[in-house]
Chain A
Amino acid sequence: MEPRPRSFYVLSTFFALFILFLYGPTITIGILSFQGEGGGLTFPMRGVSLHWFYDLFEQQAVGDIWGSFRRSFVLGLMVMVVTVVVSVMGGLAFRRKFPGSNILFYLIITSLVIPSILISLGVGLLFSQSGLNVHWSTSGFGAQLTWTLPFGLLIMFAVFNRFDKSYEEAARDLGATPWQTLRHVVLPIIAPSLIGVALFGFTLSYDEFARTLLTSGSYNTLPLEIYGMTTNVTSPVLYALGTLTTVFSLVIIGVFLCVALIANRRRARQGSDAGKGV
């Protein structure tokens, strides 16, 4: 191996600083959430305690955190499932041109770049003008899909751009029906990327704020609840909540990454059954 150039060390330092910049603040509030009872929003730490975490579990201290967490979690799962299914179907369809495919493609791009507040405002107006009540599971759900679907579809486009069609042709030559080809050939091949789509679907929904602002109705999702807290809570209980939700997000990411890793391993182990039929 050739020796590292000097630029390597300069760039390594830069990268380390970047990582510090990314994670530093989050770690800081992680530490500060263990602030002692008399402590404030910044250092110094006045002792170490779990006081602020206990506060979170007392219903009266702050709004309806656990209810909003439950709603966010359920909504995240709903958005995740729909994002995966609709993205796969869309990705499959977009492999061939069909009438309106260009318009639909530009709609997807529009959905991605449109300022979130327009979705919030528009969906809110749509529901109020048609006499429907906004609710996180209807209007909020749809508003979030306009954000997660473009990501899911872009991933699927990328996947199918690299997809080797000869597998499908082989399956068809062997007499598989279109459904069998999809079920036993295409889906297993694209399965690892579906984990990615699911991760995007869940986390983007779980953290979404702007698109649910006017569309979630009287029951808040967790980000809305947290935002509400920033205006009237000025104690480290805010940090405790931040730490908990961040830890929860990290656990979710960890789970998805593990599933992806296991899926890859299994595939590597069982990969080819060539010659086993003899």
Chain B
Amino acid sequence: MKKLRKNPAISNLLMVSPLAAVLFVFLVLPIVLIVIVSFWRATEFSIIPAFEFDNYAFLFGSPVTYTVFFNTFKYAAITWACTLSIGFTVAYYLAFHIRSQTWQIALFLLCTIPFWTSNIIRMISWIPFLGRNGIANSTLMSWGVIDEPIEWLLFSDFAVILAFVHLYTLFMVVPIFNTMMRIDKPLIEAARDAGANGAQILWNVIIPLTKPGIMIGTIFVVTLVMGDFITVRFMSGSQSANVGRLISNDIALLQYPSASATAIVLLLTVLLTIGILLRFVDIRKEL
């Protein structure tokens, strides 16, 4: 036993065994099972082991699939653009315009606290704001901007994206702020001494050096949006669909095989997207 402990490779393996066990049972096995079940057959009452491609054939043969996948990418792209521009601006402000470290930490915490509260409550909290008689509509009407309530504020694509931006901008702010804080301040002074103006410094010095943070934030936001089903369901009032909702609808109908097939296609899409993004950044170096 003593010899065992002295061997670093073996003691390392012992140290990661709980981690490996959890990931094996609750990540690897479930994925394997989803792959298997995606080839099964479903009747109205049960699912039957089989090996047929019907679920995939149905999935790729249905025009709904393509609309829904297009929607998923649309949500991801718009949310990405919004969270990136807001997140970058906020991180830039915190990193370069706040001079005292105490204030920096305090304001940073102020940005991150909502992350630790419930997403569902944060979605619900848009109802009084966006509803037909909500704050937004009544304010606009009292200003005379509109004559009658805007119907598309709540339960629309607009609401879905607003909620995504509201929930996930944090995932951009944190990694971008983290990389910005590690930029050597003398580099920026050197750029200024060499005659660069503010915009040039931003474009030629800060943005290139922040790219890893932007990539990590992008990975978070894109995967969260692509895998979501609850925000879309709640904020669109069940009027819009993305892939996650397609899966959750199948699950609700106990159509596990077809849910599994859709889930596998979604997983491959997400992993492919991440694989492409990871080519631009080495995560382990950035921690």
Tell me the bound Cα distance from A43 to B128 in angstroms: 7
Which residue of chain A has the shortest Cβ distance to B18 in the bound complex? A86
- B138 and A26 contact, CB distance less than 8 A: no
Report if B194 contacts A (CB, 8 A).
no
Report if A89 contacts B (CB, 8 A).
yes
Q: How far is the CB of B107 from chain A (nearest CB, A)?
A: 8
Which residue of chain A has the shortest Cβ distance to B133 in the bound complex? A42
**Residues in A whose Cβ lies below 8 Å from that of B9:** 96, 98-99
Which residue of chain A has the shortest Cβ distance to B17 in the bound complex? A89
- B229 and A23 contact, CB distance less than 8 A: no
- A117 and B229 contact, CB distance less than 8 A: yes
Report if B29 contacts A (CB, 8 A).
yes
Q: How many pairs of A and B residues are in contact by the CB < 8 Å rule?
A: 246
- B129 and A24 contact, CB distance less than 8 A: yes
Report if A65 contacts B (CB, 8 A).
no
Known: A26-B125, A111-B23, A203-B116. A121 touches B260 (CB 8 A): yes
Chain A residues bordering chain B, tally (CB within 8 A) = 89
Report if B244 contacts A (CB, 8 A).
yes
Specify the main secondary structure of chain A where it touches its partner: helix
Report if B161 contacts A (CB, 8 A).
no
Specify the main secondary structure of chain B where it touches its partner: helix
Report if B181 contacts A (CB, 8 A).
no
Give the most central of B26, B169, B248: most A CB within 10 Å: B26
Which residue of chain A has the shortest Cβ distance to B34 in the bound complex? A122
- A115 and B89 contact, CB distance less than 8 A: no
Which residue numbers of A lie inside 8 Å of B, CB to CB?
A: 1, 4-5, 7-8, 11-12, 14-15, 18-19, 21-26, 28-29, 32, 41-43, 85-86, 89-90, 92-94, 96, 98-101, 104-105, 107-119, 121-123, 125-126, 129, 142-143, 145-146, 149, 153-154, 157-158, 161, 178, 199, 203, 206-207, 209-210, 213-214, 223, 226-227, 230, 238-239, 242, 245-246, 249-250, 252-253, 257
